[in-house]
C-alpha cells in the first residue's frame, strides 16, 4: 500500500513534471529573427519583404497559438558571413531567438548554420541561402533548407533546355559559394543528359561592368549562356547581354536563379523568352494570389519574391511544429517539422526530409513577351510542373552525414 507521504510526493512530482513540460516555451514567448539584406544588392528580393513575410506567418500562428507572444525581430547582415554569424550568436545569447529565417548570400547562410548547429532551442529556417551544401556536406540537425536550392533551380532549367536540343553550355558564374554551387549542380544535370560545358568564367559579386565576361561567352561555341548569378548581378548581366546582342545572336540566356523583382527591373522587352525555375509565382493559383494580396497590402503593391514567400511558408511550418509539441526544443521541433506535412498559401503542400531539405513542387516558367502581359508583375507563363520529390537532389546523392 502507498502511504499518504508517498502519494503526496508522487503528486508533487507529477505537478513538477507537468510544470517542466509546460515551461518548454519560456515566458510563453517565441522569437523569430530575420537576418537579411536591408539595403544592399539582395534587398529587393529579401530585405523588408522578408520581414513582412515573417510577420504574416506570426499573424496566422496567433490563431493556433493562443496565449503565446510571437515577436519578429530583424537585422541587416550586409551580405557578410562574419556579421551574419555574429548576429546569430548574439541573438541566441541575449535575445532568446528560437528561429532564424531568410539569410541571403550563401557564405552568410553557411556561417549562420554553423553558429546554430547544436543549439538547444534555436532553429535555422533557410529561405535566402541557395547552396545545396546545406543539405549535403554542411547539413545540420538545426537547419531546414526551405525554399529553393542551387540543384532545384539549375537542374529544372537545364532539363528543359537540353531537352530542346540546346546541349552546349557556357557559364558566367558569381565568384562565391552560391555561384560555385549553382554552376556545379546545373553542369551536373547538363552532362548527365548528354550535354557539355564548353567554358565558364567567374565574376566578382556586385560588379557593374560585365563586358569582358560577355565577350568570352559570345565568342564561345555555346548554345546556352547559363547565368549563375543572382539579384543585382543577374539584372546587370541580362541588361548588358541584351546590349551586346547575345539574346538575338542565337544563344539562349538561362537564368539559374531568377526573382520576379529581377524581371521587373530588367523589363519584359529585354527579359522576354528567358527560362527560369521557381517554387512560387504570385499569380500561380487562388492561394498564391490570396497570400500575395496580403503581402502587397503591406509592401505598397509589390508582389512577393520566391524567397519572401518561402520565409512565410517556412516560419509558419516551424510555428505549427511548436504548436504540435508545445516546445521550442530544437530536436523536438525538428522531429515535428519532419513528421507533419506542410501546407500553406505560398508554397502549397510539402514535407521535410531527414537531411533538412523541404520538398514542394517547382515550376518551370518562361518570361512573357510584352504583348502577352496584362501589366506590372504579370511576367511569367507556366511551362511545366516538377513534383517536389523530383525537383530536389535525391537524399542519397547529397552526402549529408546525418543520413548516412
Whole-number Cα distances in Å, 336 to 32, 323, 358: 18, 10, 13
The pLDDT of residue 1 is 33
Q: pLDDT tens digits, residue range 19-54?
A: 333 348 999 999 999 999 999 989 999 999 999 999
Q: CATH says 151-283+362-386 is which class?
A: alpha beta
The pLDDT of residue 249 is 84
Mean of the per-residue pLDDT values for the chain?
93
pLDDT of residue 12 exceeding 70, the answer is no
CATH superfamily name and code, 29-148+285-360: Response regulator (3.40.50.2300)
Q: Is 321 exposed, middle or buried (0-12, 13-18, 19+ CB in 10 A)?
A: buried
**CA nearest neighbour of 147 among 317, 303, 291:** 317
Domain boundaries, the chain: 29-148+285-360, 151-283+362-386
The pLDDT of residue 106 is 94
pLDDT of residue 79 exceeding 70, the answer is yes
CB 198 within 8 A of CB 168: yes
CA 82 to chain centre: 20
pLDDT of residue 6 exceeding 70, the answer is no
Q: Do domains 29-148+285-360 and 151-283+362-386 have the same CATH topology?
A: yes
Mean pLDDT, rounded, for 283-309: 98
Q: Any bridge partners for residue 363, and if so which?
A: 278, 385
Amino acid at each position: 500500500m502507498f502511504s499518504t507521504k508517498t502519494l503526496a510526493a508522487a503528486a508533487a512530482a507529477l505537478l513538477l513534471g507537468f510544470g517542466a513540460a509546460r515551461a518548454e516555451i519560456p515566458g510563453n514567448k517565441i522569437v523569430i529573427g530575420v537576418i537579411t539584406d536591408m539595403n544592399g544588392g539582395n534587398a529587393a528580393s529579401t530585405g523588408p519583404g522578408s520581414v513582412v513575410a515573417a510577420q504574416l506567418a506570426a499573424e496566422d500562428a496567433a490563431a493556433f497559438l493562443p496565449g503565446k507572444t510571437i515577436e519578429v525581430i530583424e537585422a541587416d547582415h550586409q551580405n557578410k558571413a562574419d556579421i551574419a554569424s555574429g548576429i546569430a550568436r548574439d541573438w541566441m545569447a541575449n535575445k532568446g531567438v528560437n528561429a532564424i529565417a531568410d539569410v541571403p548570400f550563401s557564405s552568410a547562410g553557411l556561417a549562420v548554420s554553423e553558429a546554430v548547429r547544436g543549439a538547444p532551442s534555436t532553429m535555422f529556417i533557410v529561405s535566402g541561402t541557395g547552396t545545396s551544401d546545406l543539405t549535403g556536406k554542411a547539413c545540420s540537425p538545426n537547419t531546414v533548407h526551405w525554399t529553393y536550392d542551387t540543384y532545384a533551380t539549375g537542374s529544372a532549367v537545364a532539363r528543359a533546355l537540353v531537352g530542346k536540343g540546346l546541349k552546349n553550355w557556357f557559364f558566367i558564374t558569381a565568384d562565391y559559394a552560391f555561384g560555385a554551387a549553382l554552376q556545379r549542380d546545373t553542369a551536373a544535370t547538363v552532362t548527365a543528359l548528354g550535354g557539355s560545358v564548353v567554358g565558364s568564367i567567374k565574376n566578382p559579386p556586385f560588379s557593374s561592368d560585365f563586358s569582358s565576361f560577355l565577350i568570352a561567352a559570345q565568342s564561345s561555341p555555346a548554345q546556352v549562356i547559363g547565368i549563375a548569378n543572382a539579384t543585382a548581378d543577374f539584372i546587370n548581366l541580362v541588361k548588358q547581354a541584351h546590349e551586346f546582342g547575345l539574346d538575338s545572336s542565337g544563344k539562349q540566356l538561362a537564368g539559374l536563379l531568377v526573382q520576379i523583382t529581377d524581371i521587373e527591373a530588367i523589363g519584359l522587352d529585354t527579359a522576354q523568352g528567358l527560362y527560369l525555375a521557381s517554387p512560387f509565382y504570385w499569380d500561380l493559383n487562388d492561394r498564391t494570389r490570396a497570400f500575395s494580396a496580403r503581402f502587397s497590402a503591406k509592401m505598397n503593391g509589390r508582389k512577393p519574391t520566391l524567397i519572401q514567400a518561402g520565409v512565410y511558408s517556412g516560419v509558419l511550418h516551424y510555428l505549427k511544429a511548436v504548436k504540435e509539441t508545445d516546445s521550442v526544443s530544437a530536436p523536438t521541433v525538428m522531429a515535428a517539422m519532419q513528421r507533419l506535412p506542410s501546407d500553406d498559401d505560398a508554397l502549397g503542400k510539402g514535407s521535410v526530409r531527414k537531411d533538412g531539405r523541404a520538398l514542394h513542387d517547382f515550376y518551370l516558367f518562361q518570361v512573357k513577351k510584352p504583348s502577352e502581359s496584362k501589366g506590372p508583375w504579370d511576367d511569367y507563363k507556366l511551362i511545366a510542373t516538377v513534383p517536389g520529390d523530383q525537383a530536389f537532389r535525391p537524399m542519397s546523392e547529397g552526402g549529408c552525414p546525418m543520413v548516412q
